[in-house]
Structure 1
Amino acid sequence: MNKEELVIMRFRDLFNKMVWLNKSKMEDSLKGYKSSEVHCIEYIERNVDSNVTKLAESLYMTSGAISKITKKLIKKGIIESYQKPDNKKEIYFRLTEQGKVIYKIHEELHKEFQERDKAVFEQVTEEQFDSMLSFMEKYSRHLDAEIKKQGIDMKSE
Structure 2
Amino acid sequence: MSSKRTNSNVEQALLITEMMNQIGALQNRFQTEGEDEERRWMTARTSDDRVVDFLKEATVLMLHIVHAIGESELVNGITISKRFGIPRGSVSKITRRLLEQGIVQGESLPDNKKEVLFRLTSVGRKVFNLHKELHVHIEGNVREFLSRYDIEQMRFLVQCMKDTVVTSWVRFDEAEGLQEENSATEASRNLRDAGEVSEILAMLRRLDPNKLRKAKELIRIAFLED
Shorter-chain TM-score tier: 0.5 to 0.7
Unaligned segments of structure 1, at least 5 residues:
2-6, 140-157
Deviations 1:59-104 (A, max 9, x none): 43242x3222111111111000113345444211011110011111
8 A contact 1:22–1:113 mirrored in 2 = no
2:86 to 36, 51, 60: 60
Runs ≥4 in structure 1, deviation > 4 angstroms? Answer: 7-16, 123-139
1:104 to 129, 134, 138: 129
Kindly indicate which of the two structures has a greater share of residues assigned to helix.
2
Partner of 1:17: 29
How far apart in 2 are the matches of 1:85 and 1:124?
Answer: 58
Partner of 1:119: 144
How far apart in 2 are the matches of 1:86 and 1:128?
Answer: 54
Deviations 1:1-21 (A, max 9, x none): 8xxxxx999877655433444
Partner of 2:64: 39
Cα RMSD over matched residues?
3.7
The alpha-carbon distance between structure 1 residues 56 and 39, as it changes in their structure 2 partners (threshold 3 A), is same
How far apart in 1 are the matches of 2:150 and 2:122?
Answer: 38
How far apart in 2 are the matches of 1:109 and 1:137?
Answer: 25
Partner of 1:151: none
Identity %: 22
CA radius of gyration, larger in: 2
Unaligned segments of structure 2, at least 5 residues:
1-12, 14-18, 44-54, 168-226
Q: CA deviation at 1:31?
A: 1.5
8 A contact 2:35–2:60 mirrored in 1 = no
1:94 aligns with 2:119: yes
